[in-house]
Amino acid sequence: MFNFIEHRKIWYIISLLLILPGLFSMVTRGFNLGIDFTGGNLVEVRVEQGVKIEQVRDVVEGLGFAASNNIQKSGTTDYIIRTRELTEDESATLISTLERKVGEVNLLRNDRVGPVIGRELTVNAILSLLIAAVLMLVYITFRFEFKQGVVTIVALLHDLLVVLGVFSIFQIEVDSAFVAAILTIIGYSINDKIVIFDRVRENSRMRKKGESVEDLVNISLWQTLVRSLNTGMSVLFVLLTLYFFGGTTLKTFILALLIGVVIGAYSSMLNASPLWVDLKLREKKAAAK
């Protein structure tokens, strides 16, 4: 039987290799913030059949209204255009220019998001994450023990840093859907970790005399492995289907979930549990002195 815990230093090194490039990118390049954070307009139009995305992009960029990742196709004739914040006159100019360049245009929506809303969204997102972390720590401490609560929060931070790092490295646009994806990842990942710790607790009650904490946790990991793989693969199949066939507006949300589900399963087995073992061994050494 492969011993996951015995090789825990390898898992720690892999985690560092996943996190450090993202941290460097976040510090040096930051994020490609969408209009939810920076402010701007979200314009959705319906054009004639056969109009190509390049034609719409040329019009928007030619007017100087473009934002990053500014054009997305939705369906066969609908386009979502992200711009800097526009005045009413500039919005009218955009529509009239599109009509002149690509043909008949029907305006479906034109939503303006100011920078004040963007700042509020940022603060609320950070506050939500902090509150969630505190509540999870309290819950896990109450149900299991404080050390398992600590390593769970550390593993969740690992998951978030990997997802954030990927979005920073590849400059994928970060918007309100991404914030929702982050909160969803936390919920999914915490469930996976609790299942493993629940099995560790059950096995602790039937622990054989002389059985080490490393063996106890390794057995628990093997007992929950099939469940974790089946759950993870089921979720991945659904997410992949949504990513390829769910439309462009869902891609950022689904991509974040895909990364989060994979890295959450990894950290549940190969970060949270080994970290708890190290804390228990340190506690045992301290008590022996």
Helical (H) or strand (E) element with 185: helix 176-205
Query: Domain spanning 8-33+117-288: which CATH class is it, in words?
Result: mainly alpha
Per-residue model confidence as pLDDT tens digits over 185-201? 988 899 889 999 999 99
Phi-psi region of 212 (alpha: psi -120 to 50; beta: other; left: phi over 0): beta
Domain residue spans of the chain:
8-33+117-288, 40-113
State pTM to two decimals: 0.82
Per-residue model confidence as pLDDT tens digits over 201-249? 999 888 877 788 999 999 999 999 998 899 999 999 999 999 988 766 7
The two three-digit tokens of residue 129, written as one number: 């994450």
Q: Identical fold at 8-33+117-288 and 40-113?
A: no
Per-residue model confidence as pLDDT tens digits over 122-181? 788 788 888 888 888 898 888 888 999 999 999 999 999 999 999 999 988 888 788 889
Query: Domain spanning 40-113: which CATH class is it, in words?
Result: alpha beta
Query: Cβ neighbours of residue 180 under 8 Å, at least 6 residues apart?
Result: 253
The two three-digit tokens of residue 64, written as one number: 């100087």
